[in-house]
Structure formats: structure tokens, C-alpha cells
Amino acid sequence: MESLLLNVLFIIVFLQLVPLFLELSKHRFSYYQKRWIINTSSSIGIISCILFPIPIMEGYIFDLRLAALTIAGLYGGILTSVLSGVTIGFRFFIGGVGASATIIEVTMLLILLALTTAWFHRSLRKNKLIIGSSIALSAAVIALLNSVFIFGATLDWRFVTMYLVLTWGITVLIIYLYEVFHEYLLINKRVIKAEKMEMVSHLAASVSHEVRNPLTVVRGFLQMIEQEGIPDEKRKKFMRLSMEEIDRADVILGNYLTFARPSPEHTQVLNIEKQIHKTLQIITPLANMNAVQIETYINNYKTRGDEHNLQQCLINIKKNCIEAMPDSGKLRIETSKEESNLILTISDNGNGMTKEELSRVGEPYFTTKGREGTGLGMMAAFKIIETMNGSLNVASVPYEGTSFYIRLPLIESGSSQRDI
Ligand code: ADP
Ligand code: MG
């Protein structure tokens, strides 16, 4: 009983929990990394099964390697061949008459898997259980026939029953657990997506409303400009106001679009130093107007992402900082490195935020700037950093200032990739 539980535990941990962990983990592994990890962990699982066989009764021992190999084969695809190699190799390492029998068993199992895997993946859960357990069962029968016809073993019917029932039962159990977990994960992902879609459509209505206001205002100004006998000075003022309104509509639409767009469009290696300088050029006139000094302490760290998105995020944050310092202040931009991340800190010594305001930053339409604000800038900033696999944290003290901490995956400098 003990070793049976141990075998089941090996299969659950190495063949089920490890792949599950890979899917749940925040760190995004590359396809090859995933393959490697799953290969290694499945091999460890199968070897452990062989190392700790189950003594059913005197003279008869067996293990769950066929069940393990079936499961790994059905879910792992090509990796089965690697695992079969491991199984056979390891069985030879142990030695004994069973070794050559393992080759026959595993080869037969591989053929069965090759014939049924595609069908298995198309099937519903109930059929998956039937297909998977039939394969494991067939492999077990082959193993038994092997021992009778090749090695002339005489089999006890109790052993045969136990062996078949256990192999079948464990396969059913594991496939069932796997499918249930996956369904759960899938539903979770769909819910998150549905939530976002709802948000996007909810915003679409209000964004068009928001854009209509500036349009109406601009139309009014144009009408006035059209009238004859308007002094030049007034005409210029109306033109300037019209342009401001158009810019405002542009900002609203831009921020909305970054939020609504599903994923980054064009990612490339970005040099954070260059990107900061580019955005500073855009923001400097505004800083000068508010008598804000800009201090930078930046390194040429590299990360990956969409250039326009990152620039928009940086501009949104810097603009907020400058707006929080209406008459003079200091905008400080700094980079540092922590393990495999770069940290970009943008801080101001402006008005700051209360706890309540701080907790609402990033909420759509949350603004304390009345007609001047859109309340979409920080939402877009959070979204952009998220799509770059990073994180954005904000700390603020009223009347002292605010700091934004952007953490992004670091690409090692010195790599020959071209950056912009
Ligand atoms: P908007 O700037 O149009 O108001 P944002 O989404 O950019 O919208 O910002 C939302 C709100 O967060 C701002 O109205 C402001 O109250 C607060 N906020 C953001 N950045 C800062 C900052 N650096 N200092 C103080 N308050 C800030
Ligand atoms: Mg803003």
C-alpha cells in the first residue's frame, strides 16, 4: 500500500503538478524551457516509479511506469520518445531479464500512442478517460503476455487482476485530475478576458462622449473665426483654443486605444536610456512652463517592448508629475538593477496623493483635475507595463511628493541585439 501511494505521488507531482506550475507561474518560460522542464520532471517521475516498485505479493512486483509513460505520452506529444529512451536506458542500467522486455513494451506503447494521440486531444473528457485508460491497459496486457511467452513466467491470477486494475485506475485518476485542472484554468482565463472586454466596451461609449465635447467646442470656435470683422487677436486665441481641444481629443483616444488593443504590436529591444531621453524632449516644454527641474541618473539598460507604448507610458507618468508641481519642483528619473529586472524610478516633490486617491490611481476616469484631466493616463500606463511583463508601483505622501517604480525584465547588456 505504501509503495503504491508513493508511485501515485510520483506521478502526480512530476507529471501533473510540475506542468501545472509552469502554466500558473508568472514567469513566462520559453517553449524550449518548458519542454526541458517537463521532460526532466517526467523522466524523474518514471525513474522514481521503477526505483520504488510495488510488491503485490511474494515473488511479484510491479510498478506504474506504463501508466506514467501513457500519461506523459498523451499530454507531451513528441516528448514520449525521449521518455521512452530514458525508461529503456534506465531499465538496462538496473539490469536483469526485465530489461529486454521493457524494449518490447515501450515500443508497443509508442505505436499505440502515435495512433491515438490526435484522436485523444479531439475528444471530450469522458472519451479521453476511455482512450487513455485503454492504452495503459493494453500496454499492461502486452507486458503480461511478454513475461509469459518470452520468459515463461507463470502468473497468479490475483497478481494479474491487481496489476491491470491498478494501471487502469491510476491512469483514469490522473487524466481526470489533469482535465479538471485545465478546465478550471481555461475558465479563469476566459473570465479575465470577458472582464476586460466589458471594460473596453463600457469605455468605448464614454470615450466617444468625451471626444464629442472637444469637437463641439472646436466647431464653435471655427464658426466664430469664420465671421467677418473679428479682430486678429481674437481669431488667434480661438485658433489656439481649438488646437488645445483637438490635442485633448487625441490624448483621450490614444490612451483608450492602448488599453483596448489586445497585445503589443511590435516588440523590440528597447534601450531605456534612449527612450527616456526621447520622452524628455517631448515633455521639457511643459516642465519649463512650470519651472520644474529635471534630474536624471540613468544607465543604458535594455528591455523588450513596443516603443510607442513605452513612450506613451513614460509621458503619461512624467506629465502627471509635472502637473503635480504647478509652481516649481524637481522631477527625478533614475534607473537601477535588481536581479534580472531593471527598475525605473520617476519621482516628483509635488502635491502628492491621499491614501484614498492613491488607491484609486489607474481606475478609469479617476481624476482630481476636473475638466483638465481625463483620468485615463495612469490606466494606460499600468496596462502597458503589464503587457511588458513588468510591474508598476506608486508611493505617495500628501504635500511631499509621489514616486513611480517601474520594474521591467532586463535584457543583458552586451548582447549583440540592436536596440533603439
Ligand atoms: P489625469 O492626469 O488626466 O487626471 P491620470 O490617470 O493620469 O489622469 O491620473 C489620475 C489621477 O492620479 C490624477 O488626477 C491625480 O489625482 C493622480 N496622480 C497621478 N500622478 C500623480 C502625481 N505624480 N502626483 C499627484 N497625483 C497624481
Ligand atoms: Mg495624466
User: Domain segments of the chain: what residues?
Assistant: 2-192, 207-260, 268-409
Confidence of residue 79 (pLDDT cuts 50, 70, 90): low
CA 243 to ligand 2 center in whole angstroms: 19
Residue nearest to atom 23 of ligand 1 (CA): 321
Distance CA 342, CA 347 (A): 16
Q: In degrees, to the nearest 5, what angle opens at C-alpha 230 toward C-alphas 224 and 233?
A: 100
CA 82 to ligand 2 center in whole angstroms: 54
Ligand 1 contact via 305 beta carbon (within 6 Å): no
Ligand 1 contact via 251 beta carbon (within 6 Å): no
Cβ proximity of 11 and 67 under 8 Å: yes
Please check whether the domain covering 207-260 is classified as CATH 1.10.287.130: yes
Ligand 1 contact via 321 beta carbon (within 6 Å): yes
Q: What is the pLDDT of residue 114?
A: 84
Confidence of residue 104 (pLDDT cuts 50, 70, 90): confident
Give the position, in ligand 1's atom list, of the atom nearest the Cα of 376. 6
Ligand 1 contact via 353 beta carbon (within 6 Å): yes
Ligand 1 contact via 352 beta carbon (within 6 Å): yes
Strands lying side by side in the sheet with 391-397 = 292-297, 329-338, 341-348, 401-409, 391-397
Confidence of residue 103 (pLDDT cuts 50, 70, 90): confident
Interhelix angle 272-289/307-323, rounded to 10 degrees, is 30
User: Would you say residue 416 has pLDDT above 60?
Assistant: no
Q: Which ligand is nearest to the CA of 379?
A: 1
Distance CA 62, CA 54 (A): 5
3-state DSSP assignment of residue 155: coil
Q: Which ligand is nearest to the CA of 374?
A: 1
Q: What is the pLDDT of residue 358?
A: 92
Regarding predicted confidence, which is higher, 65 or 320?
Answer: 320
Regarding predicted confidence, which is higher, 311 or 30?
Answer: 311
Ligand 1 contact via 357 beta carbon (within 6 Å): yes
Class of domain 268-409: alpha beta
Lowest mean pLDDT of 81-90, 143-152, 323-332, 394-403, name the range.
Answer: 81-90
Confidence of residue 420 (pLDDT cuts 50, 70, 90): confident
Kindly state the DSSP code that residue 261 receives in the 8-state scheme: S
Instruction: Write out the three cell numbers for 407.
Output: 520594474
Distance CA 309, CA 211 (A): 21
- The mean pLDDT value for 15-32 works out to 76
- Tens-place pLDDT, residues 362-376: 888 889 998 778 888
Q: Which ligand is nearest to the CA of 392?
A: 1
Q: What is the pLDDT of residue 59?
A: 59
User: Would you say residue 309 has pLDDT above 80?
Assistant: yes
Q: Which ligand is nearest to the CA of 402?
A: 1
Matching fold, domains 207-260 and 268-409:
no
CA 106 to ligand 1 center in whole angstroms: 64
Ligand 1 contact via 325 beta carbon (within 6 Å): no
The number of angstroms, rounded, from the C-alpha of 193 to the middle of its chain's C-alpha atoms is 13
Lowest mean pLDDT of 97-111, 165-179, 287-301, 337-351, name the range.
Answer: 97-111
- The mean pLDDT value for 51-70 works out to 75
Ligand 1 contact via 348 beta carbon (within 6 Å): yes
Give the position, in ligand 1's atom list, of the atom nearest the Cα of 372. 3
Ligand 1 contact via 69 beta carbon (within 6 Å): no
3-state DSSP assignment of residue 291: coil
Q: Which residues pair with 57 in a beta bridge?
A: 60
Compute the chain's Rg from CA coordinates.
32
Whole-structure pTM value: 0.53
Q: What is the pLDDT of residue 203?
A: 67
Regarding predicted confidence, which is higher, 279 or 256?
Answer: 279
Q: Which residues pair with 365 in a beta bridge?
A: none
